[in-house]
Amino acid sequence: MRRKRLDRMQCSIARALDVVGDPWTLLLVRDALLGVTRFEAFQARLQIPRATLTARLEHLVRAGILERRSYQDHPPREEYVPTAKGRGLRPVIITLMQWGDEFARDDPPPTVLEDASTGLPIEPTLVDRVSGAPLTALRVRAVGPLVPRRG
């Protein structure tokens, strides 16, 4: 069954989910951001059916999240590397991981984040770019045509 397209909705979340809403898609982006670039490596890590993998990789290339690069001429071989648009999903992946660690597990998280230069653990948080205050500490409200009015 084909899912409903969301790319014409006014909501930015709906439009983003139209591109990355499939679970395999975000797992492929996660692995690509970790340095996995070759079809066989994606397939081995995720145990994803080859036809599904082919379709998801094509979707990510069409969406401009991954790009194909040739790494061998004979026989021709390509790898899939994140574009700037793909690298822009890193905070989404990290936030989703943190949410999963807190709310979707009852055992210790399998992955921790650390500073690449010091090796010390880090705990990323979303902050307001202007004030530097964590978003959890701010009084935030959404304003726009999709927000129901109160009262």
The one-digit pLDDT tens for each residue of the chain (151 residues) are 456 777 777 788 888 998 999 999 999 999 999 999 999 999 999 999 999 999 999 999 999 999 999 998 889 899 999 999 999 999 999 999 999 999 999 999 999 999 999 999 998 998 999 999 888 877 888 888 877 776 5
The position carrying tokens 């989910």 is 17
Predicted local confidence at residue 136, as pLDDT? 80
Instruction: Compute CA 87 distance to the chain's CA centroid, rounded to the nearest angstrom.
Output: 8
Predicted local confidence at residue 2, as pLDDT? 58
Predicted local confidence at residue 5, as pLDDT? 75
70: which strand partners?
78
Q: Which two tokens stand for residue 36?
A: 């996995």
Predicted local confidence at residue 143, as pLDDT? 84
Q: Which residues of 20-44 are buried (b: 16+ CB within 10 A; e: fewer)?
A: bebebbbbbbbbbeeebbebeebee
